[in-house]
Amino acid sequence: MSDPARENTPSAVDKTVAAPSEVDGPDRAPTFHEAFAQAARKAGISEVAPGETPTGASLLRAIGGVRGLVESILPGLGFLVLYTFTKNLPLAVIAPIAVSVIFVIARLVMRSAVMPAVAGLLGVGVSAALALFTGRAEDNFVLGIGINIVCLVVFLVSILARRPLIGVIVSLLANDPGGYRKDKAKGRVVLVASWCWVGLFAIRLIAELPLYFAGQTELLGSVKLILGVPFYAVVLWVTWLLVRTAYSKPQPATTPAG
C-alpha cells in the first residue's frame, strides 16, 4: 500500500515471518505466500507490528523518513511552482526529472537503497512524457489518477471477495494466516481499515478528476500535494490504531493435548 517512494528500515515485524533461506536453504524458491509476506513487510504498515503502539518516529519511517518526504513532495511542488509562474510546460516537467535524477545519484553516492528514488524517477518521467506528448499540462497527473483507480478497484474487489486487503497483509505480518476470518473482532477491524483505504483513493479521485477534466492544472497540483503524503500518513496512522485494537488482545491459551 504503498503511496510515496520510501526507504524501508528493519522493524519488529521482520521477526514474525522467517525468510525462505532461514527455513529450507538459500536455493529454494520462495512460495507465493512467502513472497507476498516479504512484500507486505516492505509496506508502510509494517513499521508497526500488529498490537504495538504507533509512534511519530514509526510514522516518519513508514513514509520514508525526511529523505522520503523530500523525494515525494519536491518534484510535484517544483512542477506546480514552475508551471504557475512560467506556464512553460517543457520546463515545468523536465525540472522535476532533473531533481529526481539527483535523488538517484545521491543515493548511489551514499550507498543507500536506490530503488525508491528510481521508482520516483520512473513515475516523474512517465508523467512528463504524457504531458509533453499531448501538450496538456494536466496530463502530468494522469499516471497518479490511474494508480488511484487501480488501488481503489483492488481494495473493493478484496472486500467483495471477503478477503480485505488489510486483513491479508496484517495476518501475514502477524504470522496469523487467515486469523481475521476466524476471529470476528479482527475481521471487523481489518474490514473497517480496508474501507478507510477505499475512502482515501475515492476522495483523491473525487477531488482530482473534476479538476483534471476542467483543465485546472494549478489547483489540481495543489490538491494532489495535500491529498498525497499528508493524507496517506493520516490513513496509515488510523489503520495502525484500528489494527492495534484487535491484535493487542491476548489470545486464549490452548490446552496441551494428552
Burial class (CB in 10 A: 0-12, 13-18, 19+), 63: buried
Q: Is the pTM value of this prediction over 0.85? A: no
What gap in Å lies between CA 95 and CA 174, rounded to an integer?
Answer: 43
Cell of 40: 507486505
The pLDDT value given to residue 27 = 55
Cα distance between residue 151 and residue 146, in whole Å: 9
pLDDT at 19: 44
- CB-based contact 151:231 (threshold 8 Å): no
> Confidence band (pLDDT; 50, 70, 90) for 117?
confident
Residue 7: band (very low, low, confident or very high) from pLDDT cuts 50, 70, 90: very low
pLDDT at 258: 43
For 49-90, write each residue's pLDDT tens digit: 666 667 777 778 777 788 888 888 999 999 999 999 999 999
- Per-residue pLDDT, 81: 94
How far apart CA 223 and CA 207 sit, in angstroms, is 7
Task: Using the predicted structure, report yes or no on whether residue 174 has a pLDDT greater than 90.
Answer: no
CB-neighbour burial class of residue 216 (10 A; exposed 0-12, middle 13-18, buried 19+): middle
Q: CA 250 to CA 230: how far, in whole Å?
A: 33
* Residue 34 CB neighbour total at 10 angstroms: 18
| Per-residue confidence (pLDDT) for residue 11, from 0 to 100 | 43
| 87-100: pLDDT as tens digits | 999 999 999 999 99
**What single-letter amino acid sits at 149?**
I
The angle that helices 184-213 and 217-226 make with each other, rounded to 10 degrees, is 160
User: pLDDT tens for residues 21-52?
Assistant: 444 555 555 554 555 555 555 556 666 666 66
pLDDT at 254: 45
Percent of the chain with pLDDT over 70: 75
The predicted structure's pLDDT at residue 38: 59
Contact 83, 240 (CB under 8 A): no
**Cα gap 184→23, rounded to integer Å:** 32
